[in-house]
Amino acid sequence: MDLETVKDRAGPRAFSPKHDLPEEYRKAATRMIQFHANSEIMGAYLERPFIRQAPSLDRKLAFSAKVQDEIGHGQLLYRAAESLGIKTRDEMLDELANGEGKFLNCFHYPMESWTETPMIGFFVDGAAMRRQATLKKVSWEPYAHAMDKICFEEGFHVKHGEDILRELATGSRKEQEMLQEAFDEWWPRIIQFFGPTDDKSTHHDFSSEVGLKLMSNDELRSAFLTAYVPKAKKYGLEIPDEPRIEKRDDGTYKVVEDDLDWDEFFTIAKNNSAGSKEQIGKRHDTQEAVEWVRSVLDENERTTTGTAPQAAD
């Protein structure tokens, strides 16, 4: 199939591994799904140490289930990316550990306190739900299919994140202050979740032409703000003065894009910030520590089926 035919036929779940698709499409879809998979893993790594800090047994169980879900999302997505025939799952995991793999800007910053957990569990996952709901109609069927399960679980994450937020927002004065501090720090990153405004986004046009992107960054950001500014206020959080958030006549919200630090965003996007190096370093060390498990499994596969996992041509 040539690129023009792909553009003509692009629609919800239009393409699957049975189609002969041009490399340009397969590479663009791989880049997008790999980024998504990496982000699931790196978000989980950031949250994982806080399982120990959960304030009750029930909270610990729910939080640990949430972290496991995120790792599962990552694995599901590597499989969906692998089905495009460009990279294997192992190659993508290696790229993540060696600093070549890109992931969401929010997950490059260190997380220090339990009061920060709803920043991911409620706001970032809430932002993710905005985008992911649209991805159920993406043109690469294995990706859309993975989103059915992922969105179902993300719905639980957002409810759980909101419950932690509510608990802290109605807790002691100290907890309320810490929650506001966490919000002040995370708010600009959360707004940057959707990436740069469309005229600065390098991949926007092609991805929308071939059905990989269904809503623009600005549309998604505005939809998120319109839903979440009132929710933040409901829990007593004050919206910081910067970046400025403006209400349009139709009741929707938009951010003044120039108030956001896009230089920092692009430094992070290239894995070049101090935080990026620290988070990637942790991932690298973990991957190395469990390398023996991977070799045992590979060896087992080789001896039982006569084949070892192969890299794609």
**Are the beta carbons of 93 and 118 closer than 8 angstroms?**
no
The footprint of Fe ion on residues 104-143 (CB under 5 A) is: 125
Alpha-carbon distance of 44 to 286, in angstroms, equals 13
Q: How many residues bind Fe ion (CB under 5 A)?
A: 6
Q: How far is the CB of 83 from Fe ion (least distance, A)?
A: 19
Q: Which amino acid is at 50?
A: F
Looking at 10, 36, 70, 193, which residue binds Fe ion (CB under 5 A)? Answer: 70
Q: How far is the CB of 64 from Fe ion (least distance, A)?
A: 13
Closer to Fe ion by CB, 73 or 102: give it.
Answer: 73
**Are the beta carbons of 1 and 24 closer than 8 angstroms?**
no
Q: How far is the CB of 284 from Fe ion (least distance, A)?
A: 22
Question: What are the structure tokens assigned to 177, written together?
Answer: 């202050």
Segment contacting Fe ion (CB under 5 A): 1-9, 156-164, 235-243, 248-256? Answer: 156-164
Looking at 31, 59, 73, 221, which residue binds Fe ion (CB under 5 A)? Answer: 73
Q: How far is CA 128 from CA 43, 192, 250, 274, in A?
A: 12, 12, 24, 25
Closer to Fe ion by CB, 121 or 195: give it.
Answer: 121
218 binds Fe ion (CB under 5 A): no
101, with CB counted inside 10 A (0-12, 13-18, 19+), is: buried
Closer to Fe ion by CB, 10 or 182: give it.
Answer: 182
What's the number of CA atoms in the CB half-sphere (13 Å) around residue 301?
Answer: 10
Residues with Cβ within 8 Å of residue 123, at least 6 apart in sequence: 161, 186, 190, 228, 232
Q: How far is the CB of 154 from Fe ion (least distance, A)?
A: 5
Closer to Fe ion by CB, 14 or 74: give it.
Answer: 74
Residues that bind Fe ion (CB under 5 A): 40, 70, 73, 125, 154, 157
